Chain A
Amino acid sequence: MARHIHVVKVHHLTLSFPTRKDPNPKPVLDDVDFGIRDGEILGLIGNSGSGKTMTSLAIAGLLPEGARITGGSIKFQGEDLLTMDPKARRKMLGSDIGMIFQEPSTALDPLMKVGKNLDEVLVVHGIKDPKQRRESIIKMMSTVGFVNPEEIYERYPHQLSGGQRQRVLIAGAALLAPKLLICDEPTSSLDTVTTVQILDLLKDLCRKLHMTILFISHDLSAVRNFCDRVMVMKDGKIIDKDTTSDILNNPKNAYTAELLTSARLDPRMLGIERAHVDYSSSPVLTAKGITAGYRDRGFGKSFENKVLKGVDLEIYPHEILGLIGSSGCGKTTLIRSLLGLLPHTGTATVSGKRTGAVFQDPVSCLNPAHTVKWHLNEALRVYEKKLTNEERMAKIIAALEEAGLNEDFLLRKPHQLSGGQRQRVAIAMCLIMNPGLIIADEPFSSLDASSSAEILKLLTDINRERGTSFLLVTHNIHIIRQIAPRVVVMHDGKICESGLTNEVLSNPKAPATIRLLDAETKLHGA
């Protein structure tokens, strides 16, 4: 076969979702034109809804029903994919084009052992000898960094962590040594340490197996030390295309520059001002010796699996307290215990006002059956029962406006809102209760750079103007550095280090903190 400079050449591709009512809608992909060079790692960056995923699905031939390609062509090593026979095209998937998705928790069949999950790929692609299949799977599993591939082979997906599952998926995609590997946000649901490991692994595979990678992400910083070239997408168009260093250091396009600024979360650019914290006043929240865990009931024996081992915590008025730690260190369990959602021992005292909560996932944080107005009213009626309708509406509108929305949103349902807007409604629900403390569990991790910058600004404004304290849980150390005066590092169910953010982050003592910071430096640069 003749060697091509471009593994994939997408030529003036236009794609839309025509309906009977509107046969010529605004295209989802508008004249997309690029090539992926042999052996390179090409990054594709853009906010949600910009058409990154559609581009990758078009290449893989997995477009959803209803999508129509109205113009252009996609060539894979010179062959036109769009005019190809569907059977031949299906055969290419897996063996020539591999794909890894965002959510590692749902991509493996929970009823099949890991090995069987991978075995399936080889069976489908016609490798008959079971011994040979097992051998190549074990070999690939050690290539992706499992020290005990034989043991992992026999495990079920739920017995693995998110990072391990993503490794298994990468192994599955790499098994047939595809020429092109499409990674759609493979690290978005992973913590910093694991993200760095996965990126290293992908880079390594790219070299060892001579693969070409199309890497899709909404996080500009993730491409820094990973991609050779980067493309920026907006509204279905590729608006910028350059080498990674040029894009990051010297953006020519205004939108790219804006994305970079949002990703950097520079407090001066965003106009973030810190509130003054008075550490001599009495704390808003005092937690002593919080211990929590899950009880495993086996046959005859019952033992407790402790996730939290005696955590002490104090949050002062006007303070934003950062809580960091890698996945599985017990951050979420701690929050759930503090909110009284989990049975625990130890005491958690909240002085004065109420506690609000903002969760990670903007999709499930609002009830899909109800309007924005209903949500706010529901939050209001818990504490303030004796209000006239006018007073209620006034309070609801005030809270919405404080959260950066307006009256137009009152009658919308969650599916008519974007991720950032939903997160704002969740914040408005907290504000209407006039809380003394808001516990925010990774409020940014599912949002794209622009929205998370806006939400970050909103949170700091609330902190400064209302004096509300925050317990901010995140795996983005960068954010903590910018807005939290004090930080707590958790590891293995215990607090391993705490103190003023500047001191802890510039002179870390605990090994867990050092690991987190190393990963951070590697990912985002110094």
Chain B
Amino acid sequence: MNKNSVSARSKRFYIIGLILLSVVVIAFLVSLFWTPYDPYTTDAASKLLPPSAAHPFGTDNFGRDVLSRVMCAAKFTVFISVAGVSIALILGTVTGLPAGYFGGLTDRFIMFINNSIMCFPGILLALVAVAVFGASMFNVVWALGLVFAPTYARVYRSGTIEIKEYDYITHARVMGIRPGRIMIMHILPNLVPQLLPATVIGLANMTLFESGMSYLGLGVQPPDASFGKMLAESQAYIRVAPWLVIFPSMMLVFYILGLYFVSEGMRVSFTKGGGS
């Protein structure tokens, strides 16, 4: 009811979150066109240099510029999380909506498959998939998308079950509108307030998974960089060259924390007094 404090609070979350996120997103956008140095060129003469004017983030054990590497890693991390969540969302939509809308056998069948996927630890399933089909960015994306899909399917299903009882859906049925259209045009828009925060949180979790897999060597493959990959490579030099660890992890924290703040802002602003 108290819209003042609610909107002020959600605004604070949005501002902090968007500032943190923009650091990573700007790095990602700039890296598409320009990086200070070529992130893949090794240079034995300038290896493990501490941060300086020429190399603001220092250089790594192959003499590659860490700033350029970080920008490049932002590209892969953002791409994998967005692509993975998109796949999960699409799979969640096509399974969760019909499960909730039709109920009965359809529901049982779809939810049986979804629950079966959810039985296994997500990271394990993704690791197995990548181990079987080979470690490549493409495989990481679809494996993570598949692992995350049941979470969204559940959000869709429970929301649909609630909304399909409302008179406006009954009315749409009376008018003779086909189930597919009812689900997409009538039910889906009403699920957005629940889905958006879940999507943003999904991006954050996806990034954590991806970092973990890259760290284990099953994610992004060298010479490409991702934050997790960079952490794994720099582990050995943590004492001699701490900047190798600090900058990638800082970016990772910015990205994930930024996403959490934004989703919290959404959650607060969507749940204020009945949506009106």
Contacts and interface: CB of A to CB of B under 8 A. Distances in A.
Interface stretch (A220-228, A363-371, A454-462): A363-371
Nearest to A20: B4
A378 B170 contact: no
B3 A19 contact: yes
Given A66-B1, A364-B168, A415-B276, A379 B174 contact: no
B104 interface: no
A308 interface: no
Contact of B170 (A19, A65, A359, A415): A359
A367 B186 contact: yes
A324 B166 CA distance: 24
Given A64-B1, A66-B2, A359-B170, A378 B185 contact: yes
Contacts of B168: 364-367
B176 interface: yes
Nearest to A362: B167
B223 interface: no
A339 interface: yes
Contacts of B171: 357, 359, 365, 426, 429
Interface core residue of B3, B166, B173, B192 (most chain A CB under 10 Å): B166
Nearest to B172: A378
Interface residues of B, number: 22
Contacts of A378: 172, 175, 177, 185-186
B2 A65 contact: yes
Interface residues of A, number: 30
B121 interface: no
B2 A355 contact: no
A355 B192 contact: no
Nearest to B185: A378
Contacts of A379: 175
Interface in A358-386: 359-361, 364-370, 378-379, 382-383
A252 to B, nearest CB: 37
A331 to B, nearest CB: 15
A489 B276 CA distance: 40
Nearest to B181: A378
A66 B6 CA distance: 11
A329 B167 CA distance: 21
B269 to A, nearest CB: 16
A364 B166 contact: yes
Contact of B174 (A20, A357, A367): A357
B175 A369 contact: no
Contacts of B174: 339-341, 355-357
Closest 10 CB pairs of A and B: A369-B189, A415-B276, A364-B166, A359-B167, A65-B2, A66-B2, A65-B1, A365-B167, A64-B1, A364-B167
Interface of A: 19-20, 64-66, 339-341, 354-357, 359-361, 364-370, 378-379, 382-383, 415, 426, 429, 433
16 contacts: A355-B174, A356-B174, A357-B170, A359-B167, A359-B170, A359-B171, A360-B167, A364-B166, A364-B167, A365-B167, A365-B168, A366-B168, A369-B190, A378-B177, A382-B176, A426-B171
